[in-house]
């Protein structure tokens, strides 16, 4: 499973719940946030001052092989 900067945050967390730990590790307050249904990864990273590429890499690394 791969993730992109245009993916909605809520969609990622719903389809791959194991990714929630990555959001929490990056101190992103997306878990349970109503805006997560509208925010893309790009939006969330910009909002939280997170490097998008590092975040996406961490998301992809957490996916079981």
Q: Specify if 52 maps to a domain.
A: yes
Q: Specify if 14 maps to a domain.
A: yes
Helices (H), 1-65: 9-15, 20-25, 41-48, 52-61
Q: Specify if 3 maps to a domain.
A: no
| Full residue range of the structural domain in which residue 27 is found | 9-61
Q: Specify if 4 maps to a domain.
A: no
pLDDT tens by residue, 42-57: 999 999 999 999 999 9
pLDDT tens by residue, 24-46: 999 998 988 899 999 999 999 99
Q: Specify if 1 maps to a domain.
A: no
CB 21 within 8 A of CB 63: no
Instruction: Give CA–CA dist 33/35, Å, rounded.
Output: 5
Model confidence, pTM: 0.88
Report the SS3 class of residue 24.
helix
The domain total for the chain is 1
């Amino acid at each position: 499973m791969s993730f992109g900067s245009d993916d909605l945050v809520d969609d990622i967390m719903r389809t791959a719940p194991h990714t929630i730990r990555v959001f929490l590790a990056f101190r992103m307050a997306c878990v349970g946030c109503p805006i997560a249904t509208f925010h893309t990864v790009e939006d969330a990273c910009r909002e939280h001052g997170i490097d998008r590429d590092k975040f996406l890499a961490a998301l992809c690394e957490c996916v079981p092989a």
